[in-house]
Structure 1
């Protein structure tokens, strides 16, 4: 089977599939509409029964009917209730007609689909035929082969970029926890210096323990983040400020907590964490831009690849 014949079969399958999917979509929409009108019919029937009950109650010798009769307003009240009953009946009848119309349409569409049942697996047939053509072309078409290589290269870089972004997010979470704990420790430290007593000292130390734990976690994530960034350097065309990131790591994690019970040490640590957060945010911004650019390149390559196969004859 030559490319021309394959192309003709693909075109036929695609058009039949389009028609089949059109009927499927229409049936799904009609099913939704049928359920909606069934609910409306039920609600309007309830309302109709209530209005009928109101009229029946006025027509019977109930206490309320007797009361309205005494004051000479029974007829006026009855006319009002009967008018509301007529309006309710009209709304109910309309809903019933709409439901019936939807059900008739649904049966017609279902009949159309039943007549095209052999097309329900058209996508599988299309992919199988497409794959046959693709396999033949890949064996001899150098341009298509290059597209495959380019696409796989971009996909690989995109995966590494996304891994770096995930590790950067974990690092930011750890730094955020550290910043929050250090801020709280600093505030309690001020209170402690003003004579806060044992409770404030205990809370300050607890917050510092939290900060120490978060900073240790940030240190682990920073090492992993640096490794991920090393993996994507070839894919990144912008400056990631790795120098600033590394100097932050060396200074912050090697010189922190010599005597960090001292208030100015807490504030200094807080300032260093904030500086680290700013550096990581700038790096993450570059990563996000590169991820978007790689995704756009990948989609463009996939479109070109698909069009190249589709147009080959």
Structure 2
């Protein structure tokens, strides 16, 4: 049924492979040409410097006269001439390499131009493949089921990603709260030891920071909870954040009115730490679920594509 279409797909894929082979080679040669042009220029500059050194020693400059007087001019000149020969050899080698690369590039360029009609082979291939896929989807129950499974997995993976994103936001807010409460507790100890107005001010400032972070965490927590409701079926496990929600409600009810007491600051800090532990464990479950869904989806995508390609 699909013999002619399959032949067209096979020919197009092979022609595309050949075009991409030559095009990739051309790109590499273009890059090599740029690199060797730079090397030729560097070695030319070095060669010119060595030539200048020899010319200076051959002239009656002050340095040449000085070396002549102390009997080392010939030795010095021999060293400079040797360096000049080495530099010339390096320059010639670079020029030959550049020339060879340019000749290769011209040949490959011709091959690419000869295959230019396949530059957009993937689009043409996808049109033919899509035609075959649509025809199969109307008739083949197995392919229909794979398509449904693929869409279901893709949807669940998207929901897991959304839940993970909200969980990461919540984690950042709780970490800010933990840091602020820890600092407030430390300033509170200093205040109890007679730290004075500065320590009291710093403690209150850190408590304000903690309040902002906790309010943000409360908002994030409720969003996270809603996202988790959407992914329960995807990860086949119960995710409980009830304790963390109760903790957030407690913070809102008290509004930091009596939290200036030192032991309550430390208690709040421990509750935030517990919340952090709970969120991290939940995020780990989500990330495991995301990895599993991604692997299943990639496997299903390969099976689906192979099924369409092999149908005859």
Q: Which residue does the alignment assign to 1:135?
A: 134
Superposed CA deviations along residues 264-290 of structure 1, whole A, max 9, x for unmatched, are 111000000000000000000000000
Distance 1:260 1:244, change over 3 A: closer
Runs of 4+ in 1 over 6 A off after TM superposition: none
Q: Which residue does the alignment assign to 1:123?
A: 122
Q: Which residue does the alignment assign to 1:198?
A: 197
Q: Which residue does the alignment assign to 2:8?
A: 9
| CA RMSD across the alignment | 1.3
Q: Which residue does the alignment assign to 1:266?
A: 265
Superposed CA deviations along residues 99-125 of structure 1, whole A, max 9, x for unmatched, are 000000000000111111211121111
Q: Which residue does the alignment assign to 1:45?
A: 44
Cα distance, 1:251 vs structure 2: 4.8
Q: Which residue does the alignment assign to 2:61?
A: 62
Q: Which residue does the alignment assign to 1:92?
A: 91
Q: Does 1:238 align with 2:237?
A: yes
Q: Which residue does the alignment assign to 1:298?
A: 297
3-state SS of paired residue (2:259)? coil
Superposed CA deviations along residues 37-80 of structure 1, whole A, max 9, x for unmatched, are 01110110011000001000100111110000000000000000
Q: Which residue does the alignment assign to 2:80?
A: 81
Q: Which residue does the alignment assign to 2:307?
A: 308
3-state SS of paired residue (1:240)? coil
CA distance in 1, matches of 2:134, 2:21: 30
**Retained in 1: the 8 A contact 2:214–2:248?**
no
Q: Which residue does the alignment assign to 1:187?
A: 186
CA distance in 2, matches of 1:131, 1:293: 28
Cα distance, 1:244 vs structure 2: 4.2
Q: Does 1:222 align with 2:226?
A: no
Q: Which residue does the alignment assign to 1:19?
A: 18
Cα distance, 1:238 vs structure 2: 3.0
**Retained in 2: the 8 A contact 1:40–1:95?**
yes
Cα distance, 1:241 vs structure 2: 3.5
3-state SS of paired residue (1:259)? coil
Superposed CA deviations along residues 108-165 of structure 1, whole A, max 9, x for unmatched, are 0001111112111211111111111011001111111101110111111111111000
CA distance in 2, matches of 1:155, 1:245: 30
Larger mean CA deviation between 235-244 and 222-231 belongs to: 235-244
Larger mean CA deviation between 296-305 and 246-255 belongs to: 246-255
The number of aligned residues is 312
Unaligned runs of 5+ in 2: none
3-state SS of paired residue (1:297)? helix
3-state SS of paired residue (1:234)? helix
Structure 2-normalised TM-score? 0.97
CA distance in 2, matches of 1:214, 1:252: 11
Q: Which residue does the alignment assign to 1:169?
A: 168
**Retained in 1: the 8 A contact 2:184–2:207?**
yes
**Retained in 2: the 8 A contact 1:41–1:92?**
yes
Cα distance, 1:20 vs structure 2: 0.3
